[in-house]
Amino acid sequence: MTAKVMSWALSRLAHGNRVVLASVVETTGSVPGKVGARLAVASDGQWTGTVGGAGLEMKVLQRCQELLSVHHRPFGEVLRYGLNKGAKGYEVTPLDSLCGGQVSLAIEVIIPMPHVLLMGGGHCGQAIAQSLDALGWQHSVHDTRIEYSSQEMYPNAKQRSSVSVKAFFEDQTLETLGRFSDVLLLGHDWAEDEERLRCLLHIFNDSDAIPNGNQGPRIGVIGSRSKWRAFEKVCHKEGIQQSILDAVICPIGLNIGAESPEEIAVAVVAQIMAAFKDVDPEAPSWRT
């Protein structure tokens, strides 16, 4: 059962879902689930496994769903239940049960590691891919020039694509885009990046969602503010909501004075890491 639950949890993480894993870690007396019993709940509403069934399992499932609705970052807690409505003790939650024992569970919110879609396989895309590799994060690449999305240039890419922008987005939905934590528009041609942006934002617009990493991948565009204003004007004409446009990051990367592709990669990946860890990069860092 443990292997089955863990395998299922990993598969949901691979699809961009957050997962709550509940594991029985300690028991005393008569309980329905022994140490090692597990269940997992994904942010898409699916779940598998068991911690023993009955009222205990209902309570645990309810708690897992609550955590998924609140926590978009790693989180953990330990819960203790007394399987008797008259159960007493330090931090023991009584349940309407006749089992009589006590059970402790470890509850952990697990989030998928970043998977960055690089839309543009030029110098910056290559440098960013190398930085992502160093962190053990995943990346995929799309470039309409086949030589810039090749296995030779991107040996560790999870997915490679060289189809047209229109063909790439033809079957994309908010759900399929959910496998990516971030989509970066790094194209060699501003017109291609504009088309990519329009295709992306129409998906969010039609789904009434915001590209912020919770409802869908974050979206970043390389380039200047004047480039962004031109893109924004086109999107306004196509009916894209301002709230969606406001969520797009342009220019991408922390302001560290980056100039070379390698320096830009440091700035961009650091920005992704800050979002992933829910850290304000401009806040002071205190060490004791």
Q: What is the pLDDT of residue 244?
A: 95
Say if residues 155 and 133 touch (Cβ distance below 8 Å).
no
- Of 156, 171, 18, 66, which Cα lies nearest the Cα of 58? 66
Helix, strand counts (H, E) of the chain: 9, 11
In the prediction, which pLDDT does 22 show? 94
Share of the chain above pLDDT 70, in %: 91
Give the pairing of strands 38-42 and 19-28: antiparallel
Q: Which CATH class is domain 115-276?
A: alpha beta
Quote the tokens at residue 193. Answer: 């990046």
List pLDDT tens digits, range 56-93: 888 899 999 999 988 888 899 998 887 665 444 444 44
Q: What is the pLDDT of residue 95?
A: 47
pLDDT at site 282: 73
Domain boundaries, the chain: 2-110, 115-276
178-226 per-position pLDDT tens digit: 889 999 999 999 999 999 999 999 999 999 999 987 778 999 999 999 9
Q: List residues bridging with 49 in a β-sheet.
A: 39
pLDDT surpassing 80 at residue 138: yes
**Rg (alpha carbons) of the chain, rounded to whole number:** 23
pLDDT at residue 96 in the model: 45
- The answer to whether 183 touches 156, Cβ cutoff 8 Å, is no
Distance CA 269, CA 95 (A): 47
pLDDT digits (tens, 9 = 90+) for 242-279: 999 999 999 999 999 999 999 999 999 999 999 988 88
Report CA 112 to chain centroid distance, whole Å. 5
